[in-house]
Structure 1
Amino acid sequence: MNIPWARRHFRPIHRPPVMPLNGLTANQASVAGLTLLECLAAIVVVGMIGAAITPVLVLSVATRVQSQKAEQALAVAQGEIDRVRVILEQGGDRADALRDLDPAATSPPPANPLPTAAGSTITEVPAPTAPAVPILPADVSADFDQPTQTIAVFVDPTDDPTDPDDADFAVQRFRVEAPDVERGFYIGVRVYDYQAIVDGDNLGINEGSLGLTSSQGERVRAPMAALYSTAFVTAEGTAFCNYIDFDDAAGGTTTADDDKPLGCE
């Protein structure tokens, strides 16, 4: 049935779109970004994560630095031991070799003085005096004459060996005479962190541990490396014979002549 008046008087009702509370349409809201509250929440979460991992990072870096310095200190200590052995075992005049290690020598002054610690076993020689200023390499032959003194060591080749601020380590090196052994003695080398000597007090003599640390660890008072060994004054070809004599005297034994290599008396 066709009702013309209905088409004229009844029209479809068009409702206006419902606006969200923030005044944006649905399409606009999807690309509007984060609200202030969401930003604050994200900042709080990031801050909490950072606070949780920062101590772990600090612990990891400090431990790695300590391990690296310990490796360098061990290399320095071994180098000192080898240096003395080369002086004594390269042959030549025995008196000249000993004079080069004698802090009291004057003509010429010793190039590599190795002070003697009297009345001590090699592992019980007292720790270095601290606080003190380690002796610079250029002044060693004139000023290094006590077993409780230390020498500044510069690991980086670009460091200025005349500037104490560039020093990395301080080395205590000494010897203890072996009783009744003319040709040999004990050598001791302890390598400390440079600042431990300059700022420290009541230093230890036992090598510090390398456990996890968030700061400087035990290197503030304990040596980072400590080596003890033996050395022999020798003419060429007699080093092994001297070692046998030294070992006999230290252990209170006597090796029979028939058990010694040819050439040993």
Structure 2
Amino acid sequence: MILVTGASGQLGQLIVSSLLARGVAADSIVAAVRSPEKATNLKDLGVQVRKADYTDTASLSAAMEGVKRVVLVSSSEVGQRAVQHQNVINAAKAANVELLAYTSILHADTSPLALAEEHKQTEAALSASGIPHVLLRNGWYSENYTMSAGMAVEHGAVLGSAREGKYATATRADYADAAAIAITSEEQAGKVYELAGDEAFTLADYAAYIAQISGKEVVYQDLPEAEYAKVLVSVGLPEGFAAILADSDVGASKGGLFDDSHTLSKLIGRPTTPIQDTLKLALL
């Protein structure tokens, strides 16, 4: 059986769908979720839905029963992830899992992004555990930006602190396919995949794409990190999360979110989804 953590989240659900599309039997997939009562859509697919809270070690141990492979989708709770991931690793080790795939961050070992620290800690914990594992070092999701494309059209501007830094983004579905392929393939233990989109863009390019698709004037306005963080807080984001986003932009200016190895498209056997396609879905 294959267990997917965070299976009711955006990436987790797509990984389950990709596994099914690849012919994995529904009853051999375990959708591990914090609130099973909110995962009826997964149960309707025929997969096993089990309660598994990153902070509840008993639930994690119970969810691992009979499981041979695990996709550890990184927790969304920044600042708590290293401990939460360790709980999953401990449960997987106790269950004698034969392979664990972890969704890390692009170039985790050298990344300038503050977000990389907990990923590095998790990668170290996996190495220490002795569990055979594969690292899926995901770049930025295209949806991280396209979800706010409408606001950019409304205000005529894309704001950020990335300067001329390049983003090699891909969609969650692209990364989900990579996870599904890695966890169902043989001889994956020890592999490290640096996963990113085929086509990179700057935020100035991104603003130009929005303008072209929407027919409205949209420009990129680069801001100092602290000022950008303040803007994010002013539109409702928590201070801590705003600081992380601003830091990530600065990290992008240093090359932290760029990769041109085309490892992702090679792994999934098709080109990654261009940012323009994702923008069209968001805007049209």
Query: What TM-score does the superposition give when structure 2 sets the normalisation length?
Result: 0.21
The structure having more radius of gyration, on CA atoms, is: 1
TM-score scaled by length of structure 1: 0.23
